Amino acid sequence: MTKIISGTDLAKKLRAEIKEEATILQQRGITPTLAVVLVGDNKASKSYVNSKHKACLENNINSVKIELDENISTASLLNEIEKLNNDDNVHGILVQLPLPKHIDAEQILNAVSPQKDVDGFHPINVGKLVIGEAKLIPCTPLGILEMIKSTGDEIDGKLALVIGRSNIVGKPISTLLLQNNATVITAHSKTKNLDSLLEQADIIVSCVGSAHFLTGEEKVKETVTIIDVGNNYKDGKLVGDVNLENFIGKVKYISPVPGGVGPLTITMLMRNTLVATYDLIK
Ligand code: GUN
């Protein structure tokens, strides 16, 4: 029988714990605070930022939105980041991506204080993740790991196939699975024999960004766990990388889209804000 891993239910449980921790900090006179920087009018980015802002406020984490003009220069944006780096009342900083083309995104992400980098995108935090010493780890990979762990199945010794190698998801989830003692294969557009890798995998994480990339016709293990990180639109509808319906009855665990990884990503952002807060106040 196939079990659906509900990201919505898992997020609810984890958010209750986060809210309790945030409330305890508030009672100690510390208000965990996230600053979200949004540049320009990108509709999808605005919607993501609003969801993050609302989730924080619902869970006793203060959220400050800094909305800046589309035409801001890299120098002025760097100045805004510096102000947030130096503000003791701000514990986490997130610069919503993508940034307008004229801005040097790499320079901006490198300017965020590594201690406040709740996205885990700063090269120092990326390096720490690779050597197993990171405190701030990218939110989507953290959410994926929570989903896999929620099944109760061991990760140790399992063959994990990650399809996709982005800096935001594919690479960090591959690293996290390796640290959890999986044998990890990171597949990408140049990978040969993906079908044979799919057949052998105990855990499949698809972060390709292509609607229904896994059709359900592929051969997979009956015991496999599939996590769908896709966030694609098909005929105006949000769909994942995986055609879930065609895998029902063929796999052990599978995550849906929507209601899968998405709610966990925002939950992990709040957890990272608490992690940054503890680190800064100690
Ligand atoms: N845009 C899409 N996903 C993300 C994310 O995880 N962090 C940031 N900062 N921007 C994004």
Instruction: State the distance from the centre of ligand 1 to the C-alpha of 27, rounded, in angstroms.
Output: 31
Query: How high is the pLDDT of residue 144?
Result: 98
Query: How high is the pLDDT of residue 65?
Result: 97
Neighbours of 12 (CB within 10 A): 12
Q: Which atom of ligand 1 is nearest to the CA of 140?
A: 6
Phi, psi of 169 (to 5 degrees): -125, -65
3-class secondary-structure state, position 270: helix
Query: How high is the pLDDT of residue 129?
Result: 98
Query: How high is the pLDDT of residue 244?
Result: 98
Query: How high is the pLDDT of residue 171?
Result: 98
Decide if 88 is catalytic: no
Q: Which atom of ligand 1 is nearest to the CA of 95?
A: 9
**Which residue has the least CA distance to atom 3 on ligand 1?**
97
pLDDT tens for 115-133 read 999 999 999 999 999 999 9
CA-based Rg of the chain, rounded to a whole angstrom? 19
Decide if 52 is catalytic: yes
> How far is Cα 58 from Cα 53, in angstroms, rounded to an integer?
9
Query: How high is the pLDDT of residue 264?
Result: 98
**Which residue in the list 119, 202, 228, 241 is annotated as catalytic?**
119
CA 39-40-42 angle, to 5 degrees, is: 110
Let me know: does 4 contact 260? Beta carbons within 8 Å: no
Instruction: State the distance from the centre of ligand 1 to the C-alpha of 229, rounded, in angstroms.
Output: 13
Let me know: does 93 contact 37? Beta carbons within 8 Å: yes
Query: How high is the pLDDT of residue 168?
Result: 95
- Give the pLDDT means over successive 10-residue stretches in the chain (282 positions): 97 98 98 98 94 97 98 98 98 97 97 98 98 98 98 98 98 98 98 98 98 98 98 94 98 98 98 98 92
H or E segment at 22?
A: helix 7-27
From 52, 122, 168, 229, the mutation candidate for ligand 1 (largest count of ligand atoms within 8 A of CB) is: 168
**Chain mean pLDDT for the chain:** 97
Query: How high is the pLDDT of residue 259?
Result: 97
